[in-house]
Amino acid sequence: MTDRTEWALQIAKEAGALTLRYFDDSSLEVDRKKDGTPVTCADRGAEELLRARITERFPDDAILGEEFPDREGTSGYKWILDPIDGTKSFIHAVPLYSTLVGIEKDGVPFAGVIALPALGRGIYAEKDGGAFEWTAEGDLRRAHVSGTARLEEALFLTSEVKTFKETGRFDLYNKLENACRLSRTWGDAYGYWMVATGRADLMVDPELSPWDAGPLSAILREAGGIFADWSGRETIYGGDGFACNRLLYDQVAALTREYIS
């Protein structure tokens, strides 16, 4: 790993450990942001930690995060942060939330980390260096997407079915659910971790912010798969997204392209 990837892995685990102090705490206060989504002191505290640690080591790098304003940089590197991806799961003591750290170099995905603090595991990747999963037992192993070649055999995941309805894309959800062998709402970045490690075949979200997707391009690519927006572009800035292995990509993209706003 390069210095930045090693640092990303370290601080993602540190921020994840901070969130665990508040996990399953009945006294945790939940606020609402302007868009109605929940936020807690754990979200803010974890992002503050991430920003401080990045500034400590790489003060010239840019930072884009969910909870605080962007910071400009001069180095060509940008860190993309989501301190708690899956805050709704977090506040209900569901252990499938994650801490996300992505890095771009000159606008190109360079590295990414998905840490799953309550599960003690996660995945990281660096451009041309492969993707690696760590386990709660301390093992480290190469991560790779599944070899499923047909949607009829696929496990399809999403974060929330209601979002398909709210974005006027519920017909696509029905098509995917009917086309695939099995569907579940094991969503947020946990679902993308499932795809990157070969445990699931397809993850689709009709609505995504850049910080929701910050590490996904680097991780999926290095795991042998692909993360793209619904037009099929490999970008985290499209406002929606899906991840799958490359055998399923054409089948999924043909469906999502029909529903681009």
What tens digit of pLDDT does each residue of 173-216 get?
999 999 999 999 999 999 999 999 999 999 999 999 999 999 99
Architecture of domain 3-142: 2-Layer Sandwich (3.30)
Instruction: Give the span between the Cα atoms of 111 and 97, in whole angstroms.
Output: 20
- What's the whole-number mean pLDDT along residues 78-92? 97
Instruction: Name the residue ranges covered by the structural domains of the chain.
Output: 3-142, 151-259
Q: Which class in CATH covers the domain with range 151-259? A: alpha beta
Instruction: Give the span between the Cα atoms of 131 and 224, in whole angstroms.
Output: 9
Q: What is the pTM of this model?
A: 0.96
Which position has the token pair 């086309």? 179
Q: Are the beta carbons of 98 and 122 closer than 8 angstroms?
A: yes
What tens digit of pLDDT does each residue of 128-161 get?
999 999 999 989 999 999 999 999 999 999 999 9
87 residue type, one letter: T
